[in-house]
Structure 1
Amino acid sequence: MRLCVCFVLLSVILCASADLSPLLRGGRFAWDAVGGAWDMFRAYQDMREANYKGADKYFHARGNYDAAQRGPGGAWAARVISDAREKWQSDVSGRGEEDTLADQEANAWGRNGGDPNRYRPAGLPSKY
Structure 2
Amino acid sequence: MKLLTGLVFFSLVLGVRGWFSFLGEAAGGALDVMKAYFHMIEANYENSGKYFHARGNYDAAQRGPGGVWVAKLISGVRESVQKLTCDGAESSTDLKAANEWGRRGKPPHHFRPEGLPEKY
TM score, norm. by length of structure 2: 0.89
Q: Which residue of 1 aligns with 2:9?
A: 18
| CA offset digits 1:4-54 (Å, max 9, x no partner) | xxxxxx976553322553235411001100000000000001000000000
Q: Which residue of 1 aligns with 2:92?
A: 100
Q: Is 1:45 the counterpart of 2:35 in the alignment? A: no
RMSD over equivalenced CA pairs, Å = 1.9
Letter in 2 for 1:46: H
CA distance in 1, matches of 2:55, 2:15: 25
On the 8 A contact 1:36/1:68 being kept in 2, the answer is: yes
How many residues of Structure 1 are paired with residues of Structure 2 in the alignment?
Answer: 118
Structure 1 unmatched ranges of 5 or more: 1-9
Among the aligned pairs, what percent are the same residue? 46
Q: Which residue of 1 aligns with 2:110?
A: 118
Q: Aligned pair in 2 of structure 1 residues 60, 24: CA closer, same or farther (>3 Å)?
A: farther
On the 8 A contact 1:37/1:74 being kept in 2, the answer is: yes
Q: Is 1:58 the counterpart of 2:42 in the alignment? A: no
> Within 5 A, what are the aligned runs for 1:75-94?
75-94=68-87
CA distance in 2, matches of 1:121, 1:68: 22
